[in-house]
Amino acid sequence: MEFHTKSSEETIELGEKIGAALKPGDILAFYGELGSGKTTMIKGIALGLGVKEEDIVKSPSFIMVNEYKGQSPIFHIDLYRVKNLGEVLSIGFDDYLYGNGVCLIEWAEKAENELPQNTIKVELTTLSFQERKITISGLTGF
């Protein structure tokens, strides 16, 4: 599936719709350059999964994992600062992947070989200052 958004608000709205279609155990891997809208999309997904506005997602770049309470646990993992796979595994990465929550992984290419085959892939491409192309593969029921 391919979508185009023309503002961060539209990216959040699309994320909300995607979030409403997710279920515990779903894993989403996010790809895109710095500033492409990965965290913005995740904010919308979290809203769609029932996270309250005041608890809304911020990039966890400095702490690697944030957990949010929605309809099910939401694990927002940011691998931007990770230097090697050992760092990824040291946080209990598999526990998040195979746990009872929804797992949202930024910079997923850093752990590509650890991701299950049924991972939903979300690629964000910057087309202009505000416009994004969002390509999603593996999402069913949407």
Higher pLDDT, residue 59 or 93 = 93
pTM of the model: 0.91
Write out pLDDT tens, residues 109-126: 999 989 999 999 999 999
Q: What contacts 81, CB < 8 A, 6 or more positions away?
A: 61, 62, 64
Q: Long-range contacts for 56-59 (Cβ within 8 Å, ≥24 apart)?
A: 59/106
CA distances from 107 to 50, 54, 76 (A): 24, 25, 11
Q: Is the pLDDT of residue 92 over 90?
A: no
Write out pLDDT tens, residues 20-61: 999 999 999 999 999 999 999 999 999 999 998 777 766 655
What tokens were used for 105? Answer: 């992984």
Domains of the chain and any CATH numbers: 2-137 (3.40.50.300)
